[in-house]
A and B are shown apart, each in its own frame.
Chain A
Amino acid sequence: MTAIKAESRRPADETLGEALRSHGISRRGFLKFCATTASLMALPPAMIPVVASALEKARRPSVIWLSFQECTGCTESLTRSHATTIESLIFDHISLDYHHTLQAASGTAAEAAREAAMRDNHGQYLLIVDGSIPLGNPGYSTIAGVSNLDMLRETAEGAAGIIAIGTCAAYGGLPHAAPNPTGAVSVSEIITDKPIVNVPGCPPIPVVITGVLTHFLTFGTLPELDSIGRPMAFYGQNIHDRCYRRSFYDRGLFAETFDDEGARKGWCLYKLGCKGPVTYNACATTKWNNGTSFPIESGHPCLGCSEPDFWDMGGFYRTLSMPTGHFSTALGYGVAIGAAAGLASALLGRSERDKARSAHEKVSVDDLDKGGSS
């Protein structure tokens, strides 16, 4: 048996720069990567050397990826990232020490790899979680006979930080949709003593997953977050504000069905139920799969998949409406849909509107419009 096991690793002495050179990656190629990374993170060109220097000095940080109540869509999305690519990520940037879908070892050997990574990198490894955690019964989801709750707690204990990938890990997601049969909750409802970054989306955009990782690897810090834990760099703007179809909304030109003049000419999908106005994500700017397209560009209204409880927002094809009262979650999702937008907007003062916007609550486009804000 070849004696290559997690236990027999060389001491943590090889830096990323050395590793890259030994892999035949040129300095020029490396800097090009850093420039792409900096641009992805909206950093000025002057920061490229900082990114390069930080990446070069780093030993590949250990990453443990736990999958709970999930569909593997988030992992699939990770593999679709064009920059950083998955092969570059796992060969050059991180040591992905535990990941069900990708790792070679199974069973006891897989669990031993997780335990070794936790032991060798205690306090330093990054924990990534996809999927929600069922609290209804420990038997609802187990790995190696261990409940998700126990495995999360055990693995989070020595983590430097946690990234909750996908709406299920970030906010409960699909399993949490009414009536939440298994008592599914998000990571942040269980772990309260660690920094957590939420990277929601169903799944998140591929380059957003790797972009957040690269931020952590480069700066050793977690990025600035919004009020519900999402990195501002990717979730700071709503899709409606950045949508290339916005001008048609402004002119009152809407697709009424999926194959009418408006659909063919690329008019606004608001009337078909688009949730772009209340959805904070980078789809309209970053787009999907190497900038190929994004849902609205391919003719389908935005589902709102990076928002908490988007599954319960009242129907994907119901025209977006708005809350009629205060912005409690229950009201927002329950009462909002079907309310008359005009009446509601009349009831809504500017301060409440701003409050709602800052908390990313549901506000109608009409309302945003009348306030003169973009």
Chain B
Amino acid sequence: MSKRVVVDPITRIEGHLRIEAQMNGDRIESAWSSGTMVRGIEIILQGRDPRDPWAFAQRICGVCTLVHGLASIRAVENALDYKIPDNAVLIRNLMNGAQHIHDHVMHFYHLHALDWVDVVSALDADPKATAELAQSLSSWPKSSPGYFADMKKKLKGFVDGGQLGIFANAYWGHPAYKLPPEANLMAVSHYLEALSWQRDVARLHTIFGGKNPHPNFVVGGVPCAIDLNSDSAINAKRLAQVQDIITQMQTFVEQVYLPETLAIASFYKDWASRGEGLGNFLTYGDFPANGMQDPSGFMIPGGAILNRDLGTIHDIDMNAADEIQEYVSHSWYEYEAGKNAGLHPYAGETTLDYTGPEPPYEQLEVEEPYSWMESPRWRGHAMEVGPLARVLMLYASGHEQTRELVGMTLKKLDVPVDALFSTLGRTAARTLETKIIADAMQGWFDDLIANIKAGNTRTFNEVLWEPSSWPNKAQGVGFMEAPRGALAHWIVINNEKIENYQAVVPSTWNAGPRDATGQPGAYEAALADNHTLHDPKQPIEILRTIHSFDPCIACAVHITDPDGEELISVKAV
């Protein structure tokens, strides 16, 4: 029997995502990923002051809340060959590192966990046994029987009250949930703890950027000055707060997030052999030691891995016209050269062209355009980006800590190295890289302190601040590793104004639709890899694999226009 399963909205993500899956019996035969919301931010950026787009671009996404701001200022700095002070490099690393750690922990506990953790089952847990379980994993101080008894009582009161709120109508009791009640209670407790932890550690952004979400950036450095003798700059008190937050991050990652990921994963080893998808992985590289102009100093290297071949890392060129290209064959946009052309971002063009079914609709026409996302390709290959791509790149390039962590994980779970290429591998990789970044935070902070001790407190380079000092025409690319993967913004500056602005973002790589040759995107390929649905009305299996990518769909939908011409030509509706 052939049947289409539709999941819309996919919840516990950023943005508006719809998944349609064609079933063959109880097995997913094909899947389609559709972004269902568009805003047109790149059109809005045309003609503006190039020092401003970071703030606009940052609002592409409020979850990975700083990444587009950072990519944007890097694009302008790349275009103008604008050097920034060492301290600004370090502070940006600290802010981006904090973003990864914050984002990954929240993703695991608040967006992904409920795919694996049955909240209602936690009511059957024995608090004493839960404490024993938690204590066997780490020395986290809250793991006492009393603590878990309180948590259970709170949860019971909530469920007995009959108003389940955000937990209503979920798939509790589904046979796909495998954790014993004690593991469920432990994870639900940490769901709540992580809510409290995250708002404390987000303050690192507030110290350097004035607020979170959406901290402030500035082209040419960072906006916060350093002055140990001022009550209104980064001083000893502020630095002590930053150190405290870094320690809080490391402690939670080491004692809660990492051991709990592995403990939960040990019950779901069947998910280590499904959900791979493409086998192609892409990173741009990030966390510079000496600024973005020196890729040899990146903590995470850039490169491409094809067909799982970790022995060969292909170089990438962000500026080469034949490497990164976007396709719109199955997207609601138009290209002048026709629907099947592939365009490099510098030469990109897009015209909104909604040809989908008129809302309200039941089903997409997947042979036609079916998404507001485009299909980016590297040398024609569909690529996966994100934590798994980064961990593989670090592993393939011989990063010692990564090799140890991956080895430990595979051994602990008793799974082969192939297990990395899966839904479970993707989720585990996110946790492992959080540990790597949390450790690196201390190094960046120590370097910042050393600079200040040596009398170097510069945070901003004013030389190219005034647009009148710029060349008439300039173009550049700002790239980075965002929590969800490789992110780049391309800018063309003409006569002190933005002539063209384009972003190719992680979730477009992962969530984009089929291209001109029918190659699926990473989500689509992953869902077609060995998924059976126990009950099509409760498609928890789809959620597990989709959430393993940590979708960020507002990011993924973007539109461009090189000429500033009329962009909207609505054919349908």
Contact = CB atoms under 8 A, between A and B. Distances in A.
Interface residues of A, number: 111
Contacts of B43: 179, 181
B314 interface: no
Given A5-B168, A181-B352, A104 B218 contact: no
Nearest to B117: A104
A299 B223 contact: yes
Interface in A1-39: 1-2, 4-6, 9-11, 14, 19, 22-24
Given A71-B554, A102-B166, A108-B537, A144 B9 contact: yes
A288 B52 CA distance: 22
Nearest to A16: B161
B192 to A, nearest CB: 5
Nearest to B205: A289
A2 B173 contact: yes
Interface string A278-291: 00000100001110
Contacts of A316: 49, 51-52, 55
Contact of A109 (B56, B169, B358): B169
A53 interface: no
Prevailing SS type, chain A contact patch = loop
A143 B60 contact: no
B362 A106 contact: no
Contacts of A295: 209-211, 216
B12 A258 contact: no
Interface stretch (A170-178, A219-227, A320-328): A170-178
B6 to A, nearest CB: 7
Nearest to B238: A293
B545 to A, nearest CB: 13
Contacts of A293: 206-207, 210-211
A215 interface: no
B498 to A, nearest CB: 12
Contacts of A116: 168-169
A372 to B, nearest CB: 27
Interface size class of chain B, counting residues whose CB lies under 8 Å from the partner chain:
35 or more
Nearest to B219: A317
Interface in B169-228: 169-174, 192, 195-196, 198-200, 202-203, 205-214, 216, 218, 220-227
Interface in B211-265: 211-214, 216, 218, 220-227, 230-233, 241
Nearest to A77: B213
A23 B158 contact: yes
A127 interface: no
B56 A10 contact: no
Nearest to A63: B165
Contacts of A257: 460, 462, 465
A184 interface: yes
Given A106-B10, A106-B543, A290-B199, A137 B214 contact: no
Contacts of A96: 165-166
B162 A10 contact: yes
A258 B8 CA distance: 46
B208 A298 contact: yes
